[in-house]
Amino acid sequence: MEYFNIDGSTNACFALFHGTGGNEYSLLQIAGDIDANARIVSFIGDVGEKEHRRFFAPLANGQLVRDDFNARIERFLAQWDELAIEGDVTLLGFSNGANFLLGVLEQRPNIADRVVLLHPSNLQYTFNGTHATKLYITAGALDTLAIPGDTMKLAKQLEQHFPVTMKLFDGAHNVSDEEITYLQKVLA
């Protein structure tokens, strides 16, 4: 998977995973607003292109295409290991990127210090054990793509395995200024 790196001046690192149709630049402003001095590693999904770009195959009948999904997660984890990222690591994903990170957490729950899931979908993930990785989940009350009730059910499922903070915002399927201000506070 392609990515680019921006060196930081602290040991903090943000790894970014855009939403469907996004690119490696989509979440830079958000990461910079949260910690302007952090290293940034921003990945670009390798399925589809332009407005269809994503990290894994489109859903089939509302469900993950598990073989494809798991294979892509495994390839990413091998790449992640090669990158050997150290320090205070935060993984941040929006929509498709957040769903991809949930697959990462299925296979490697302690991959980072914290994981920020912006508008994830509840796609029947399976988690085992309890882990120290802190999860921050946001949803929009008017979101018609990542239904907020389903996201809240997902948060309840995750609470059995991780420390979880869930926050519902008034918006739709986008990251609002209010969400960014909230993340600045909780990730400080």
pLDDT at 116: 98
pLDDT at 1: 93
All residues at 6 or more sequence positions from 86 whose CB lies less than 8 Å from its CB, including other chains: 11, 13
* pLDDT, average across residues 12-37: 95
Give the CATH number of domain 3-186; options: 1.10.1050.10, 1.10.20.10, 3.40.50.300, 3.40.50.1820.
3.40.50.1820
Q: Give the number of other Cβ atoms within 10 Å of residue 122's Cβ.
A: 19
pLDDT at 74: 97
pLDDT one-digit tens code per residue, 31-64: 999 999 999 999 999 999 888 899 999 999 989 9
pLDDT one-digit tens code per residue, 101-121: 999 999 999 999 999 999 999
**Domain boundaries defined on the chain:** 3-186
Question: In this structure, what token pair is assigned to residue 159?
Answer: 């609470």
**Global pTM value:** 0.96
Contact 103, 124 (CB under 8 A): no
